[in-house]
Amino acid sequence: MKNLKLKAARAAMDLSQQELADAVHVSRQTVNAMEKGDYNPSIRLCLSICKVLGKTLDELFWEE
């Protein structure tokens, strides 16, 4: 399932995939795969992304 919430939060902060990847120490391809729903990140990576984007786990990763 695509993670459109992650993509929207990243775009709202005017960050490229590469900039987010650099901030959380992963490759741009990893961020791309998460947004496409092709990669299930670890909780540690999820928390790092939340800190950078100023969001909670629920806001970015909870599926309704």
Q: Which residues contact residue 36 at a Cβ distance below 8 angstroms, ignoring those fewer than 6 apart? A: 2, 3
* CA distance to 42, 43, per residue, from 34 (Å): 11, 13
pLDDT at 64 over 80: no
Q: How far is CA 54 from the centre of its chain?
A: 11
Amino acid 47: pLDDT: 98
Q: How do residues 16-42 score in pLDDT, each as one tens digit?
A: 999 999 999 999 999 999 999 999 999
Distances (CA, A) of 12 to 1, 4, 7, 40, 55: 21, 12, 9, 22, 12
User: CA–CA separation, 4 vs 12, rounded Å?
Assistant: 12
Q: Which domains does the chain have, with CATH numbers?
A: 4-61 (1.10.260.40)
